[in-house]
Amino acid sequence: MLHLRLIVPSSRTGEVTSLLDSTVGTAHLVVLPGAARDPEGDVVMCDVAREAADELITELRRLDLHEHGAISVEDIDLSLSERGTQAEVDAPGEGVDAVLWESLTGATHEESRLSLTYLAFLVVATMLAACGVMLDSAILIVGAMVVGPEFGPLAGVCTALVRLRPRLALRPLIALVVGFPLAMLATGAFTVFMDAVGLFSEQKYQQPHPVSEFVWNPDWMSFVVAILAGIAGVLSLTSAKSGALVGVAISVTTVPAAANAAMALSYWFPGEAWASAEQLGLNLSGILVAGTLTLLGQKLFWAWKRRHLARTA
């Protein structure tokens, strides 16, 4: 269940409460006349089943409530109520399958900022991956994959494409297009420094690396893995099961490929640098394709579900 807290202009309160009353899956309606001060109006609260929330929020936006009032949504960790349980039963579909598009857009938009924190995580992850490649350490490479923050901008691009909002795609694209080159440049400088102090060496880099050689050997399996990871990543975001994102991060060779490209250029192995860049491109494109198609499939499914329920009613 989700909890909605609305600030409603007094002239629209009747319309809003009628909408809440008529929405299948709502419960615990509360109206506090004149309780809001900024902006002024009434406070209206209710609980709604997750699977009914997206359509309800869309209707509230059509009433311009986000412009003349406020719409706040939060998860309910525990609700002991027979009325609330019945509301979840009455709502169509399963809550775990529901997509809250406004919440998804807000989350991915926030995680797509080209901020100092985002760049710091990406740079540190790429440097960790460089250490992992040099030492041929699976632990370091996996750690770098987990630290990398690139899935947020990728999900942001997918969301913008599916919602047909090209402007929303600009910020995550900038985060990817600017972030990876800067991280690779910093990792190249890091490689030169580590070589100068004797911790890295061209000889070590040229030695066989059976654990990490997949980083610079792109093939169709790389694309398949990226497709599967993109599907899992988007599903974890839309179903609020963010724990699955850790598995997604570990399975995709983005940060390690960027790190190896930077190291290959530092030691001037352009062929290996190009192969690593191909690996990076394959993974990024695979995630984008899979994420966009997954979101599109969810959007079409819920549109069909609503039409089916309308015909049944």
Q: Which of 294, 248, 18, 47 is nearest to 149 (CA)?
A: 248
108-154 pLDDT tens trace: 777 788 899 999 999 999 999 999 999 999 889 988 988 888 888 99
Whether 47 and 164 map to the same domain: the answer is no
Is residue 279 included in any domain, yes or no?
Answer: yes
Q: Which two tokens stand for residue 104?
A: 């998804």
The answer to whether residues 68 and 166 belong to one domain is no
**250 in the same domain as 122:** yes
Q: Which residues contact 247 (CB under 8 A, 6 or more apart)?
A: 232
In a domain, 310, yes or no: no
Instruction: Burial-class residue 147 by CB neighbours within 10 Å (0-12, 13-18, 19+).
Output: middle
Domain that holds residue 280: 103-301
Q: Which two tokens stand for residue 42?
A: 């009434």
One domain, residues 117 and 144: yes
How many other CB atoms are there within 10 angstroms of residue 194's CB atom? 18
Nearest to 44, CA basis, from 31, 53, 56: 31
51: number of Cβ within 10 Å = 22
Backbone angles phi, psi at 16, to 5 degrees: -70, -45
Please identify every stretch of the chain with a pLDDT value under 70, giving residue numbers as ranges.
93, 95-97, 240-252, 308-313
Cα separation, 150 vs 127, in Å, equals 15
Q: Is residue 179 situated within a structural domain?
A: yes
What predicted TM-score, i.e. pTM, was given to this entire model?
Answer: 0.81
| Domain end among 80, 97, 114 | 97
Q: Both 65 and 123 in a single domain? A: no
- Is residue 209 assigned to a domain? yes
Report pLDDT for 242: 52
Same domain? For 111 and 26 the reply is: no
Q: What is the pLDDT of residues 221-246, one digit of tens each?
A: 888 988 988 888 888 887 755 554 55
User: Any idea how long the chain is?
Assistant: 313
**What pLDDT does 51 receive?**
84
Last residue of a domain, one of 62, 97, 132: 97
Residues 155, 261: contact at Cβ < 8 Å? no
3-class secondary structure for 170-212?
HHHHHHHHHHHHHHHHHHHHHHHHHHHCCCCCHHHHHCCCCCC
Buried b (16+ CB within 10 A) or exposed e, 234-243: bbbbbbbeee
Greatest Cα-to-Cα distance within the chain, rounded to the nearest angstrom: 76
Quick one: 124 and 83 in the same domain? no
In a domain, 313, yes or no: no
Report the C-alpha gap between 187 and 21 in whole angstroms: 57
CATH number of the domain residue 20 falls in: 3.30.70.120
What total number of domains does the chain contain?
Answer: 2
Residue 167: the pLDDT is: 87
53 and 191 share one domain: no
Residue 242 included in any domain: yes
166 and 217 assigned to the same domain = yes
Residues 6+ positions from 223 with CB-CB distance below 8 Å: 282, 283, 285, 286
At 78 the pLDDT is: 84
Residue 76 phi/psi, 5-degree rounding, is -105, 115
202/284 same-domain check: yes
Q: Is the separation of the CB atoms in 237 and 155 below 8 Å?
A: yes
Predicted local confidence at residue 189, as pLDDT: 96
Give φ, ψ of 75 to 5 degrees.
Answer: -75, 145
Shared-domain flag, residues 83 and 155: no
